[in-house]
Structure 1
Amino acid sequence: MSKKKKIGLVLAATPAYSETFFNSKIKGLQEAGHKVVLFVNSKNTSHLDIEIVKAPELANNKVKNIVLSLFILLKLLLLNFASVKKNYQLDKEDGLSFKKRVQSLIINSHILKYKLDWLHFGFGTLALNRENVAQAIGAKMAVSFRGFDHYVYPVKNLNCYTILFKKEVKYHVLSDGMKKDLILEGIDEKQVVKITPAIDLSLFKIAEERKKERNRIVTIARLHWIKGLEYTLQALALVKQKGINFEYCIIGEGVDQERLKFAVYQLNLQENVFFLGKLNPMEVKEELSKSSIYLQYSLQEGFCNAVLEAQAMELLCIVSDAEGLSENILDEETGFVVKKRKPEAFARVIVQTINFSDVEKKVITAAAKNRVNEVFSVEKQIQSFLSFYK
C-alpha cells in the first residue's frame, strides 16, 4: 500500500461549489487517505472538510504595512528558520533583489511554516514568485496549466516562467497541445502529465421524457473577448438571414456584456438572443436539458467542462479549434470543430446541424455521450491524480 501523503494545493480562492475540477480532486485524494491543505489568497465559505490557510493580508497604510511585515518576518524566523533561510538563499541564486527576496518570504509565510510531501500550484501564474517555496520546505513541486495561464498571460508578461521552467517540477496539463508546448520549452516529457477535466456523470443525465426544443441553442461562458462570442453572434446573424428561426441563450456574466448586447442590436438579433446571467448548477442543467445545440466558439480554451456537460446532456456541440476544444470534440464524430474567427464557416455548420434529421443527430450525440462516459469520468480523473502523486 502506498504511503499516505500530505499535499498542499495553492489556489487564488476557496473553490466554489460549481468548481467541480478542484472539488472532485480534493475529495478523491481525501477518500484515498491523503491529507490535503488548501492555501488561498481569499478565503470564502467552504463546503469542503479541509484545512484552509489564508495568505497574509497587508494593510493599505504604509506604516502599518511595514510593522505588519516586520512582525510576520520575525515570527517566521523564530519558528521556521530553516525554511526561511533556504527560500532566501534559493531566491538569491535566481538573481532576485534583496527587496524581492524579503517580499517572497512575507507573501509565502503561510506556506513556509508547513511540512508537505507535495506543493501543487493550481494555475501556472500562482507559482510566480513562489518558485522555490516547495524546495525550501522539503516538498516536491507540481504546477497545473489550464489555459489563460499558459496561452494568454505569457504573451502579456514575456519570459514570466523563465525561473519556473528551470526548476524540478512535475506539470499537469489539460491537453496534448499544452504538453507539446512545455516539451518545446525544454521540459522533460516524463515530467508533463495530461489529465483532462472530468464531470460527475450522475449529475448530467437527461430525463427520457424531456423533449428538446429543436432550434434552441446555448453557450456557457464568461462574457469576455476570449470566448469569441462576437464571432458567434456574427455567425448567427448569417443563420437568421437564411430565414431560420432560433433561440440563443448565453449563460454567464462578464465585462463585455454591454458590448455584446450592442452587437446583438446592430446584428438585428434582439428577438433571438437572450442573456441569462450567472446560473447555479441545477439551473444550468435545466437550460441544457431544453436545448439541442451547444456552441463554444472561443479564441482560446484550455479544454472546457461546459462542452463535456453539453455532450453528456445529448446536445450537438459545435466548437472552435482553440487548443483543447479540438481534443474535447472529435470533428464529425462527436461534434464539429470549426476554425476560429471564421463566422461564415461557423454559420454553415450551424445551419447543417439544424437541418440534420433526428437519426443523424442521434448518431453524433450518442457517440459524444458514450465518449464522455468512457474517457471523462470523475473516477478516472481521481485515479490519474493518485498516480500523479506517486
Structure 2
Amino acid sequence: MTANTAHAPGLGFRDGARGGRSSECNSLELLIAGINWPPETFLGRLIDGLTEAGVSVTVGSSNRPKERKNQVKWLPTPSWDSSVPLRLSRLARMALRANFCGRRDVKVFGRSIRRNANLRDRLEFWNQLLPYAGRRWDVIYFPWNSAAIAHLPIFDRRSPVIVSCRGAQVSVAPHNPERAEILGGLRDTFDRAAAVHCVSEATLKDACRVGLAPAKARVIRPAVDPDVFRPGPSCPDHNGIFRLVTTGSLIWRKGMEYALSSIRTLRDRGVNVRFEIIGDGPERQRVLYTIHDLGLQDCVWLHGRLRPEEVLHRLREADAFLLSSLSEGISNAVLEAMACGLPVVTTDCGGMREAVTDGVEGFVVPVRDAEAMAATLLRLAGDAGLRQRMGAAARARIEREFSLKRQIAQWLELFNAVLNKDERNDALSHDARLEDCRRAGVASADSLVRAAASNLRQNDKLSTL
C-alpha cells in the first residue's frame, strides 16, 4: 500500500467518544490515542485539518484540555502517577462502567495479561486499557510507536488501527541494547496494524529492516499550513549581521555541538553571525557548556521554548535555517522554515533529501561534518541574492508538495482504504460463517447469521451507554 506522498491554537473539546462504521470520511469517527496535551505542533495541525475536513476526532490524553469547544472530543486516559487512593477509586469507577457497557472488550483485554503479573502490574494494566472499553470508533490512530506498543490489546478490538513510524523510533530505538523489548513491540504493532504510516521513504526503509511488510505501509510526509507559515512582508535588514535560526528539542540526536562548531568557524572567518536556538530538552546544560567552551556567548542565543507566534516571528526575521541532526524522518521545523522563505542547510539524515534538494532550496551536508556545514553557511552569509533565490524555491516546494491540504487528502484516502479493507474482511467472515453452517447441514443458515448480526448490533447499542 506504498505511495508517495507545541500547541496548536483553536482546538476545542467536548467529552465522550462514540462512533459507528462509516463509509465516508466526513462522518468518520477517529480516535487519536496515546498523546499528550497540548500536542506537538505538527500533530495539532493534523487534528485541525481533519476536523475542518469533517472528521469527528477524539483525542485520548491524560491531561484535561483547558480549551473546550465543540470541535474535538476528549477521552480521559488517566496516568498511573497519582496517590494510591486516587488510583483505586478511579479504577473502580472505570471498572463499574466497563461492566455495564464494555464486557466484550474486557474479555479481549484480559487475554493479554501476563500470567505471572503481580497485583500492581495488573491494576496498572487495567488503568491503561479500561478507558477504551465499550467505546467504538471507525479507526484508531497511534501517532507514536511507543504508545501503540503499550496498548497492544487494543489491536484485538474490531476497530482497525493505524500506527505511525517517525524517524528515530525505527532508526535508533530498536538498536538500543537497554531497550531490547522495543524491537519485539515494533514487530507486534506492524503485524497487527491495519496500516502503518511512515513520514518518509527513508523511514519506510528503516521500518522494513525491523520487520514492516512494505505492502502494509503508506508514506504520508509531514506538512505545514503555508497560509500560516509565510515570508514576512519584506526582506529583513540586519545591518550586516547574518541571522541564523534553528528550532527543536535539545536532545543528542539534534547534533547541536556540530552546529555550534560551525558557528565558531564562521566567527573565525570574520562573519558577524547571530545564531538563535529555539527549544529545550535534557541536553540544555551540555549545549550551554559548549557555547561557553567555544566562546560563543556573544553570538548564540538559547531561547528555550517559545510560543508558536514567537517562533514564527523569529523565522520571518532570519536569513537562513540550520538543521544539524544525526537522525530525522523529515524535520517539521525545516518545512516551517522553508514555508517562511528561508534557505536551509541540513544534514543528510533520514528523509531530509526528500524535502531539500542540494543547491536548490538550500544545501545538504554530511552528518557530523561541521566544516562542510560552515562552508555552505559562508556561501549563504556572503550572497544575499543566493539566499533569496533558495528561499523562493523553498517556499514554492512547500506549496507544491508539503501543504496541509495535500496531507489531509492523503490521510482521508488512507482512512477510506483501511475501512474498505476492514469491510471486505467482514464480508469474507460472513461468507465463511454461511459456508460453515451449510457444511454442518443447517437449513436456516441465513437466519442464524441474521440472529448473530442482531446480537452484535444489540451489543453495540449497549456499548454506547
Q: TM exceeds 0.5?
A: yes
Instruction: Check if 1:361 corresponds to 2:387.
Output: yes
- 1:355 is displaced (CA, Å) by 2.5
Instruction: Check if 1:54 corresponds to 2:76.
Output: yes
- 1:385 is displaced (CA, Å) by 0.7
Q: Would the alpha carbon gap of residues 12 and 323 (structure 1) be closer, same or farther in structure 2, given more than 3 Å must change?
A: same
Matches within 5 A, 1:146-185: 146-154=166-174, 155=176, 156-160=178-182, 161=185, 162-185=187-210
What is the rounded CA distance, in whole Å, between the counterparts of 2:192 and 2:223 in structure 1? 29
Instruction: Give the match for residue 2 of structure 1.
Output: 24
Q: Would the alpha carbon gap of residues 59 and 310 (structure 1) be closer, same or farther in structure 2, given more than 3 Å must change?
A: closer
Q: Would the alpha carbon gap of residues 46 and 176 (structure 1) be closer, same or farther in structure 2, given more than 3 Å must change?
A: farther
What is the rounded CA distance, in whole Å, between the counterparts of 2:284 and 2:193 in structure 1? 42
Instruction: Check if 1:107 corresponds to 2:138.
Output: no
Say which of 3, 22, 39 aligns to 2:43: 22
Query: Any idea what the Cα deviations from partners look like across 1:28-78, whole Å, max 9, x if unmatched?
Result: 333333321111122332366211111134465556645654554354234
Instruction: Check if 1:79 corresponds to 2:106.
Output: no
- Bigger drift between 277-286 and 366-375 goes to 277-286
Q: Is the 8 A contact 1:247 1:272 kept in 2?
A: yes
Instruction: Check if 1:318 corresponds to 2:339.
Output: no
Higher helix share: 2
Q: Would the alpha carbon gap of residues 47 and 254 (structure 1) be closer, same or farther in structure 2, given more than 3 Å must change?
A: farther
Q: Would the alpha carbon gap of residues 225 and 187 (structure 1) be closer, same or farther in structure 2, given more than 3 Å must change?
A: closer
Amino acid at match of 2:101: L
Q: Is the 8 A contact 1:56 1:109 kept in 2?
A: no
Secondary structure in 2 matching 1:37: strand
Query: Any idea what the Cα deviations from partners look like across 1:297-340, whole Å, max 9, x if unmatched?
Result: 01222222221121122222101112132322112221111111
Q: Is the 8 A contact 1:118 1:134 kept in 2?
A: no
Amino acid at match of 1:382: I
What is the rounded CA distance, in whole Å, between the counterparts of 1:101 and 1:119 in structure 2? 24
Q: Is the 8 A contact 1:292 1:314 kept in 2?
A: no
Amino acid at match of 1:185: V
Q: Would the alpha carbon gap of residues 224 and 212 (structure 1) be closer, same or farther in structure 2, given more than 3 Å must change?
A: farther
What is the rounded CA distance, in whole Å, between the counterparts of 2:188 and 2:64 in structure 1? 28
Matches within 5 A, 1:264-279: 264-279=291-306
- Bigger drift between 265-274 and 183-192 goes to 183-192
Percentage of matched positions with identical amino acids: 25
Secondary structure in 1 matching 2:62: strand
Task: Give the TM-score normalised by the residue count of structure 2.
Answer: 0.76
Instruction: Check if 1:379 corresponds to 2:402.
Output: no
Bigger radius of gyration, 1 or 2?
A: 2
Q: Is the 8 A contact 2:170 2:206 kept in 1?
A: no
Instruction: Check if 1:42 corresponds to 2:63.
Output: yes
What is the rounded CA distance, in whole Å, between the counterparts of 1:181 and 1:294 in structure 2? 26
Instruction: Give the match for residue 427 of structure 2.
Output: none
- 1:377 is displaced (CA, Å) by 0.6
What is the rounded CA distance, in whole Å, between the counterparts of 2:246 and 2:150 in structure 1? 36
Secondary structure in 1 matching 2:35: strand
Amino acid at match of 2:163: V
What is the rounded CA distance, in whole Å, between the counterparts of 1:73 and 1:173 in structure 2? 36
Say which of 249, 271, 281 aligns to 2:276: 249
What is the rounded CA distance, in whole Å, between the counterparts of 2:47 and 2:87 in structure 1? 34
Instruction: Check if 1:187 corresponds to 2:207.
Output: no
Query: Any idea what the Cα deviations from partners look like across 1:156-181, whole Å, max 9, x if unmatched?
Result: 42242242233143111111011122
Q: Would the alpha carbon gap of residues 321 and 117 (structure 1) be closer, same or farther in structure 2, given more than 3 Å must change?
A: same
What is the rounded CA distance, in whole Å, between the counterparts of 2:81 and 2:204 in structure 1? 40
What is the rounded CA distance, in whole Å, between the counterparts of 2:311 and 2:338 in structure 1? 14
Amino acid at match of 1:375: E
Instruction: Give the match for residue 457 of structure 2.
Output: none
- 1:197 is displaced (CA, Å) by 1.3
Q: Is the 8 A contact 2:171 2:207 kept in 1?
A: no
Q: Is the 8 A contact 2:249 2:279 kept in 1?
A: yes
What is the rounded CA distance, in whole Å, between the counterparts of 2:376 and 2:49 in structure 1? 39
- 1:204 is displaced (CA, Å) by 2.1
Instruction: Give the match for residue 334 of structure 1.
Output: 361
Instruction: Check if 1:139 corresponds to 2:159.
Output: yes
What is the rounded CA distance, in whole Å, between the counterparts of 1:28 and 1:63 in structure 2? 40
Q: Is the 8 A contact 2:155 2:161 kept in 1?
A: yes
- 1:103 is displaced (CA, Å) by 4.1
Query: Any idea what the Cα deviations from partners look like across 1:245-296, whole Å, max 9, x if unmatched?
Result: 2111111222322322221122111221112232222222221222111111
Instruction: Give the match for residue 31 of structure 1.
Output: 52
Task: Give the TM-score normalised by the residue count of structure 1.
Answer: 0.89
Query: Any idea what the Cα deviations from partners look like across 1:3-48, whole Å, max 9, x if unmatched?
Result: 63211111322234xx443233223333333321111122332366
- 1:215 is displaced (CA, Å) by 0.9
- 1:101 is displaced (CA, Å) by 6.3
Instruction: Give the match for residue 228 of structure 2.
Output: 203
Matches within 5 A, 1:281-320: 281-320=308-347
What is the rounded CA distance, in whole Å, between the counterparts of 1:238 and 1:111 in structure 2? 54
